[in-house]
Amino acid sequence: MSLPSEERRARITALGYDYAAQPKTELSRCNLCGGTSLVVLTHTDRYGYAAEAHACRGCGLVFLNPQLTPEAYGRFYDGIYRPLVSAFHGRLIDATTIQDEQRTYAAERAAFLRPFVEGRGYRTMLDIGGSTGVVAHHFAQAFGLSGTLIDPAPLEIEQARKLGLKTVTGLVEAHDFGDERFDVVIICQTVDHLLDVKGTLERVRMLLSQTGLLFIDIVDFRAAYLRNWSVEAAVKIDHPYYLTEATMMAYLQMCGFEVLRTDYAADHLHISYACRPARPRPLEIPAGAADTLLREVRFVQNAPR
């Protein structure tokens, strides 16, 4: 099992964040297939917190259980999230220092989406979990879009507002957009942070114009635990959900999206999807996908180092 080094543990402990004391919600059903047969994969996350990751035996979806309540996550993103990530990596990671990395990411993802955006008359864009607004601002300039950004972190929202974006501080699961519709919706390095993946994707389908475009990317859970040969190292309290190619495709098809193109990022960790609205399809999970995942997890956990 991968646990923090003593130096790293000291930095995390110094933050004084009591994860065990935070209010949480116990999940009895899988968010993807609704199954109730769950198995505990891990008891500890990469920071050393006692956070259990469960897997659904029916479809292979992995998620923290119990999960912090929406209010607890709101407080977490307001004051703990960036300091915790900084303590883990041993360097300052905040709303300012992450922007260079975000600019590179924005340019790469804009190039990926360009064939599906240019010449289609798109005018409006919603960035869900848009952080400092660097990505949304780049997309807005590259494609002539009017951008709206929603994120739960006030300090990062402040940076996005300075770029001229319309901003909403909060979680997309809780905000009412009324009758507003968007031509492009982007969910960049965010879906793993959502508290209700299915509900959010269904809502995005309603927020998207009839001929609109969805961009979404995931941290591939399998790539994450195989990279460090540790399941615990791939689990962290800031990610309620852990997606694979099989579960992400199932979500998209079930929630009414057709995948136009898939891309493996240069970091060999993220997978990107360009999607358009389509008729929702019944849940489809490759036969044996969940069993295969569980066997591989056990092999990684028990193979000699």
Looking at the chain, the whole-number percentage of residues with pLDDT higher than 70 is 99
Q: What's the pLDDT band for 301 if we cut at 50, 70, 90?
A: very high
The pLDDT assigned to 1 comes to 42
The pLDDT assigned to 3 comes to 55
| 57-82 pLDDT, tens digit each | 999 999 999 999 999 998 998 889 99
Q: What is the DSSP letter of 157?
A: H
**Average confidence (pLDDT) over 247-273:** 96
| 144-185 pLDDT, tens digit each | 999 999 988 888 899 899 998 999 988 787 788 888 999 999
**Is pLDDT above 50 for 224?**
yes
The pLDDT assigned to 170 comes to 83
Q: What's the pLDDT band for 125 if we cut at 50, 70, 90?
A: very high
Amino acid at 273: Y
The pLDDT assigned to 156 comes to 85
Residues sharing a CB contact under 8 Å with residue 178, sequence separation 6 or more, in sequence order = none
For the chain, strand residue ranges (E) read 24-25, 38-42, 53-56, 62-64, 67-68, 124-128, 146-151, 166-169, 182-187, 208-219, 241-242, 257-264, 270-277
Residues sharing a CB contact under 8 Å with residue 287, sequence separation 6 or more, in sequence order = none
The pLDDT assigned to 207 comes to 93
